[in-house]
């Protein structure tokens, strides 16, 4: 493996390489060698920038959580536009069509990674899935404030239920992803009592 490959932004390139490995081959295939091979760099590059492989994985997950948080801001800003059902269905598809399903499996599979993430972000639930639920809860709260959801809607429970059910729909990463109509039907069913 060449050691003189110039890396513009090492972290970004390694994270993107890890995502490609996860999407292509799943969590069991994710090793430091697989990541550096995918990034086209020497294995030592990863260990130069991260304490160890679990440290790398923790930073990868935290980076993806930061993307969810940024998406949360734009989602809340868009409240009041479009259909609530369509927006939620699109967000669920966006979250679970990405590498999130594999990352949730990875977090579940690796005890040390989970411990590091708990130290960095204390709280209940599985990191990333919990952050997706928080993102949806913020959006649903904004829609409730605008009167587009019932004032009695329990947005925290709705968001957690939507993410959990969405995860179940998308969890078989080797199978055929659910049709958009399936995601929309599930979203409609779960939001039906909250819609005015």
Q: What pLDDT sits at residue 8?
A: 59
CATH topology for 1-49? Arc Repressor Mutant, subunit A (1.10.10)
The model carries a pTM of: 0.83
Give me 37's structure tokens: 């091979």
> Any idea which residue has 């990674």 for tokens?
113
| pLDDT tier, 194 (very low <50, low <70, confident <90, very high otherwise) | very high
164-193 confidence digits (pLDDT tens): 999 999 887 677 889 999 999 999 999 999
Mean model confidence pLDDT for the chain: 89
In whole angstroms, what is the distance from residue 154 CA to residue 140 CA?
Answer: 9
Q: Domain boundaries in the chain?
A: 1-49, 65-191
110-144 confidence digits (pLDDT tens): 888 888 888 888 877 888 888 999 999 999 999 99
**For 14, which DSSP code?**
H
In whole angstroms, what is the distance from residue 111 CA to residue 117 CA?
Answer: 10
> Any idea which residue has 């690796």 for tokens?
110
**For 30, which DSSP code?**
-
Answer whether residue 7 shows pLDDT above 60: no
Give me 47's structure tokens: 């260990």
First to last CA, the chain: 60
Percent of the chain clearing pLDDT 90 (strictly above): 53
Average pLDDT over residues 36-48: 90
- Least Cα distance to 74 among 96, 94, 103 occurs for 94
| pLDDT tier, 65 (very low <50, low <70, confident <90, very high otherwise) | confident
| 113, 54 Cβ separation under 8 angstroms | yes
In whole angstroms, what is the distance from residue 98 CA to residue 181 CA?
Answer: 18
Answer whether residue 101 shows pLDDT above 90: no
Residue 177 CB partners (closer than 8 Å, separation 6+): 97, 170
């Amino acid at each position: 493996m060449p050691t003189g490959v110039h890396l513009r932004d090492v972290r970004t390139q390694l994270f993107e390489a890890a995502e490609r490995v996860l999407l292509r081959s799943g969590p069991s295939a994710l090793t430091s060698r697989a990541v550096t091979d995918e990034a086209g760099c020497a294995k030592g590059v990863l260990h130069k920038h991260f304490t160890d492989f679990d440290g790398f994985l923790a930073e990868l997950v935290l980076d993806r959580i930061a993307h969810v948080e940024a998406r949360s801001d734009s989602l809340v800003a868009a409240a009041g536009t479009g259909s609530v059902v369509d927006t939620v269905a699109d967000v669920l598809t966006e979250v679970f069509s990405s590498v999130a399903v594999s990352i949730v499996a990875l977090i579940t599979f690796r005890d040390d990674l989970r411990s590091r993430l708990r130290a960095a972000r204390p709280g209940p639930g599985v990191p990333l899935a919990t952050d997706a639920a928080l993102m949806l809860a913020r959006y649903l709260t904004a829609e409730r404030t605008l009167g587009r959801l019932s004032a009695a809607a329990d947005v925290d429970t709705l968001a957690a239920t939507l993410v959990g059910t969405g995860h179940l729909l998308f969890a078989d990463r080797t199978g055929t992803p659910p049709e958009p109509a399936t995601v929309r039907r599930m979203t409609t069913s779960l939001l039906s009592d909250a819609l005015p």
